Structure 1
Amino acid sequence: MNTLLHSLELAPLWGLVSIRDMGTDDYPQSADGDYECLAGRGQIYVSTRTDSEGDVRVRVYLGKADPAVMRVIHEGVMEFKSGIISITAPAMEDEETVILPAAGVWQVGVAVSGGGSPDSVDVYLSSVS
């Protein structure tokens, strides 16, 4: 069973949501700009609908993504050195969003719903054993 840690509505400038360790200097790079999800060690960008199309719901869970519920677009590992997740649009300043139970390396799954331009992003975190 998954545990909801946080839920927010975000107006994503340029159709991107940034999920990152608070204060990270890791900025994923894309050669062509055509991606659903772009991940680095300390930050993930998720393509969504734009702010002019409406807000995007972002939820953070402790647990694992369920592909039967939403479309999983990323599974990997992230390092949260600060133990704090910041969820914003990429051009916005870091804001404290979720304080994790512990700093360190976490398994991360990202799932979306809402068609070609997702209106919902779920982030799933589980500790690395």
Structure 2
Amino acid sequence: MVTGEESYVFLPGHALISTRGDTQGDVLVDLMIGEQGLSDAALLFEEVMRFSSGVVSVSDVVDPDEETLELPRPGDWRVKVYVKGRPWPDRVFVVFDERQWEDAKLK
């Protein structure tokens, strides 16, 4: 059951992440390969996400304009999500497994 107090809600193909309010400024979302430079970020979750289309889409519930990234292949990807600025993050890092990314590019 979802209460509305969760820091995130995860389904294999979707992740909803609670961030600061729209009136408090923008939230920056970084899509990364590998975990370099994240020593001061907190790990929110680590899961396998399904990207059936082979595309990652990032959008806001209030402003649904999407930013997209094409993956080397569709399917399941090991993903870690880190945040900065708790309890209401102003920065989110979606990190793809570096080895899995390189393996996908070689096929």
CA shift at 1:53, angstroms?
Answer: 0.3
Residue in 1 that maps onto 2:26 = 55
Residue in 2 that maps onto 1:95 = 66
> Which one-letter code corresponds to 2:94 in the other structure?
V
Query: Distance in 2 between the 1:61 and 1:51 partners?
Result: 24
Segments of structure 1 that go 5 or more residues without pairing to the other structure are 1-29
Alignment length, in residue pairs?
100
Residue in 2 that maps onto 1:23 = none
Q: Which has the higher strand share?
A: 1
Query: Distance in 1 between the 2:48 and 2:28 partners?
Result: 22
Query: Distance in 2 between the 1:122 and 1:37 partners?
Result: 13
Q: Which has the higher helix share?
A: 2
Query: Which of the residues 44, 48, 51 maps onto 1:80?
Result: 51
Partners of 1:84 and 1:96 within 8 A in 2: no
The answer to whether the aligner puts 1:115 opposite 2:86 as a matched pair is yes
CA shift at 1:84, angstroms?
Answer: 0.6
Taking structure 1 as reference, are residues 53 and 91 closer, same or farther at Cα in structure 2, changes over 3 Å only?
closer
Q: TM-score, normalised by structure 2?
A: 0.81
Segments of structure 2 that go 5 or more residues without pairing to the other structure are none
SS of structure 1 residue aligned to 2:23: helix
SS of structure 2 residue aligned to 1:52: helix
